[in-house]
């Protein structure tokens, strides 16, 4: 009788054991939830203006899964090939629409729907070219300053014009040219400073110094233009002024003297002129 009950017990025990699912089966049936991946940026918020980063950005991905555990995490930047994430990576290139995509897969094979983060980086200050031309009106000069700006990413926000470090005018708009007219009186030495701002917060500064001069000179005129209003503009070379030092006049050229003929004194020949010249000297920095 005891042997019979022992046999029955062993049979029931075997039935019970075979009826318990394996750990793999439990995990396969119970873990249907994909992992969760988060993205952290350093710095956490844009360190420039208007939502722009102005320095490198470090990207850290963190994936969690409470059931089977995280198997692997993938990421890509701007729709390039997917890469396996192993450690934080750095975004160092400028861009106005940088897209980071990422997702993880757990050990049960559940795949997370890809997520994305969009940011913009501008680490480059604007490029600036300053040029000018001028008109003489009576004893004054109207100096027309043109600033040509280029900013490939965030774009130009504004341009400020200063006279001896005092703000005179702020010009905004799409550009790329920003124009300011300055009324300059002779016998003054002034510093014109231009500050260009882009939308990310970068600046670029350019300065010129304007000085007035009057010369008594004679020499060869190579290009004479009488405007009919008492203003004569010209190009000339081999000119000599009162100290008999030669110089060449070139209109609107950096670090060259720019003069108009204020008074005819006399001709010394078909293309040779004697006169009083007044003008301005421009120094670039």
Identify whether 75 is part of a domain: yes
- At 195, the pLDDT band (50, 70, 90 cuts) reads very high
Domain count, the chain: 2
Domain closes at, from 86, 121, 156? 121
> Do the domain assignments include residue 15?
no
Task: Indicate if 116 and 175 belong to the same structural domain.
Answer: no
Q: Does residue 90 lie in a domain region?
A: yes
**Which of 106, 83, 128 has its CA nearest to residue 285?**
128
274 and 141, same domain (yes or no): yes
Tokens of 229: 């209003």
Q: Is 202 found in the same domain as 116?
A: no
137 and 263 housed in the same domain: yes
Q: Do both 157 and 56 map to the same domain? A: no
Phi, psi of 19 (to 5 degrees): -85, -10
Residue-wise pLDDT tens digits, 141-155: 778 889 999 999 999
How much is the average pLDDT of 250-266? 48
- What's the pLDDT score for residue 262? 53
Residue 12 within any structural domain of the chain: no
Residue 52's domain is classified under what CATH number? Answer: 2.60.40.10
Do residues 114 and 161 both lie within one domain? no
Same domain, 232 and 164: yes
Contact call for residues 276 and 216 (beta carbons, < 8 A): yes
Domain that holds residue 202: 127-284
Q: Which residues of 134-158 are buried (b: 16+ CB within 10 A; e: fewer)?
A: bebeeeebebebebebebebbbbbe
Same domain, yes or no: 146 and 235 = yes
Report residue 131's pLDDT band, with 50, 70 and 90 as the boundaries.
Answer: confident
Do residues 194 and 101 both lie within one domain?
no
pTM comes to 0.69
Query: What pLDDT is stored for residue 209 in this prediction?
Result: 84
Instruction: Please indicate, yes or no, whether residues 87 and 194 belong to a single structural domain of this protein.
Output: no
Among residues 75, 97, 121, the one where a domain terminates is: 121
Specify if 91 maps to a domain. Answer: yes
pLDDT digits (tens, 9 = 90+) for 172-191: 988 899 999 988 776 678 88
Query: Is residue 9 in some structural domain?
Result: no
Residues 136 and 109 in one domain: no
Q: Is residue 56 part of a domain?
A: yes
Based on the domain organization, do 117 and 132 belong to the same domain?
A: no
| 115 falls within a domain | yes
248-257: which pairs have CB atoms within 8 A and are 24 or more residues apart? 249/277, 252/131, 252/132, 252/133, 252/134, 254/282, 254/284, 255/282, 255/283, 255/284, 256/282, 257/213, 257/281
């Amino acid at each position: 009788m005891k042997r019979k009950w022992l046999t029955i017990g062993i049979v029931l025990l075997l039935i019970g054991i075979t009826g318990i699912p394996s750990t793999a089966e439990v995990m396969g049936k119970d873990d249907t939830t994909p992992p969760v991946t988060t993205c952290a940026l350093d710095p956490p918020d844009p360190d420039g203006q208007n939502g722009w980063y102005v320095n490198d950005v470090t990207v850290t991905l963190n994936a969690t899964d409470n059931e089977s555990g995280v198997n692997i995490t993938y990421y890509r930047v701007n729709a390039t090939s997917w890469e396996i994430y192993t450690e934080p990576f750095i975004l160092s290139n400028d861009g106005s629409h940088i897209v980071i995509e990422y997702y993880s897969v757990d050990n049960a094979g559940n795949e997370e729907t890809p997520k994305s983060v969009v940011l913009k980086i501008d680490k480059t200050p604007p490029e600036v070219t300053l040029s000018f031309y001028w008109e003489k009106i009576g004893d004054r000069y109207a100096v027309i300053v043109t600033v040509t700006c280029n900013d490939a990413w965030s774009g130009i926000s504004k341009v400020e014009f200063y006279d001896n470090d005092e703000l005179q005018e702020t010009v905004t708009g799409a550009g790329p040219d920003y124009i300011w007219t300055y009324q300059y009186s002779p016998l003054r030495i002034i510093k014109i400073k231009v500050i260009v701002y882009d939308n990310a917060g970068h600046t670029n500064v350019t300065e010129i110094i304007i000085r007035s001069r009057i010369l008594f000179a004679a020499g060869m005129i190579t290009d004479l233009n009488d405007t009919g209003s008492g203003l004569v503009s010209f190009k000339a070379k081999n000119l000599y002024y009162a100290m008999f030092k030669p110089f060449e006049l070139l209109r609107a050229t950096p670090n060259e003297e720019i003069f108009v003929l204020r008074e005819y004194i006399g001709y010394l020949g078909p293309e040779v002129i004697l006169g009083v010249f007044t003008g301005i000297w421009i120094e670039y920095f």
